[in-house]
Amino acid sequence: MPTISAGALKRMLHLPMNVVTGMPRIEKDPRGGEVVIVPVRPYARDTRRCAECGGRGRPYDRLPTRRWRHLDVGCAKLLLEYAPPRVDCAEHGVTVAMVPWARRRSAYTRDFERQTAWLSVHAPRSAVSQLMRIDWKSVGPVCRRVADDLRAEQGAGLFDHLRSIGVDETSYKRGYKYMTVVVDHDRGRVVWMHQGHGEKVFDLFFQTLTPEQRESIRVITGDGARWIDECAFRWCPTAERILDGFHIVSWATDALDKVRTAAWRRARKTGTARKGAKDPIKGARWALLKNEADLTAGQKAQLECVANTDETLWQAYKLKERLRMILRQTPETAAPLLRQWAADAFLSGIPGFTPLGEKIARRHFDILRTIRSGLSNARLEAVNNRIKTTIKIGYGYRNLDNLIGLVMLKCGGLNLKLPGHQ
């Protein structure tokens, strides 16, 4: 009966860096079914390399036979078998020798982990664990290892040629759990993520960059948080700090919603709005927050009712709409309109809009730079939506490092491809 040569078996199993030392054998799997065992070894030149640094070390001893899970053959699991030696590295001491088919401290081959990571980007973790026949708790660490490997391959190139960046925080768990996200506006990808938010966390990003990479940054976008201003000035003093138009309008919408809530409570106390009745102010929440051009006929009718019912709330709504329209003007047209708006908001006496008028006056030139540049955090907000979608798809990632690895695979522009498709 003809047999398969070792060379043909290597090509079939996609093992270019290995030597197949014997014919495959079939054993019973304790969990049911059968497993195929393929004995392998590295090339002689790679048998005594330190797993930490890749440098050559002196032979120390040999460990018992180990097995690594490889891509399935048909419906059977496939395991690579090898007894790795330990070497005495001049830098790291006695350590297990590197094997080319698997990452350090991993029970899976590189091809198996790459396919698992690719599936994790496109499917829920429960489906990935069922398809790959591994424990669902193992999927997260696999994604982290693959992402770390791909980032190491690209090296400092991830931060080269950064010209305009956006920074924002996004929640990843209930209980005010946030992580900071930095996006490259030009390439539309996440370049850095870290647990927490605030000045100290943003400092960590700039500490990762070289002086040349920090000097290449010309624009930093984000909301009006002062810690962004302070970090930007300290690390990139020549960069332009640009506020996000979406967040500027959100200042007004937040103040408007507080005015609406106060108006509805006043109506409840005076008896003009009965409990359980359809109250025009309470029901007009989305009509008040929505852009005027996008209103439906029913929402326009609700706003007419608000205008006839509560003059303060109607005035707050008109202030919000005026601010939104000013942000669409040219810088020359917007400058006097913005000053007038800040004065009107301050003198209106409306709770929430009086301090907002002071804030707009204080950030006058920052807002004009935003209008002049035409940049916004729209791309960053879109990335945040992709991150939240990724979190929902990979439901169950409790370890933040594993979750960051999954997000970087999906949104970080990493070259993740299926094995054999490179």
Task: Single out the residue of 369, 412, 384, 328 nearest to residue 218, CA to CA.
Answer: 369
pTM of the model: 0.74
Residue-level pLDDT at 271? 63
What integer pLDDT is reported at residue 170 of this predicted model? Answer: 79
**Is 419 a member of any domain?**
no
**What pLDDT score does 132 carry?**
92
| Judgement on whether residues 307 and 395 belong to the same structural domain of the protein | no
- pLDDT, averaged per 10 consecutive residues of the chain (422 residues), comes to 65 77 82 85 84 82 90 88 88 87 89 92 86 88 90 76 86 76 85 88 91 90 84 90 82 89 80 56 79 82 84 90 89 91 91 91 87 69 75 69 86 83 66
- The answer on 359 and 250 residing in a single domain is yes
Pair (240, 250) in one structural domain = no
**Could you tell me if residue 117 is inside a domain?**
no
Containing domain of residue 6, as a range? 1-98
165 lies in the same domain as 204: yes
Residue 115 maps to a domain: no
Residues 23 and 61 reside in one and the same domain: yes
Of 98, 119, 137, the position where a domain reaches its end is 98
What six digits make up the tokens of 338?
């913005």
Residue 401 forms part of a structural domain: yes
Token output for 296: 């439906």
Assess whether 255 and 315 both reside in one domain: yes
Number of domains present in the structure of the chain: 3
Query: Any idea what the CATH number is for the domain that residue 401 is in?
Result: 3.30.420.10
Q: Do 318 and 330 lie in a common domain?
A: yes
182 and 76 housed in the same domain: no
List residues bridging with 242 in a β-sheet: 221
Q: Are residues 293 and 365 in the same domain?
A: yes
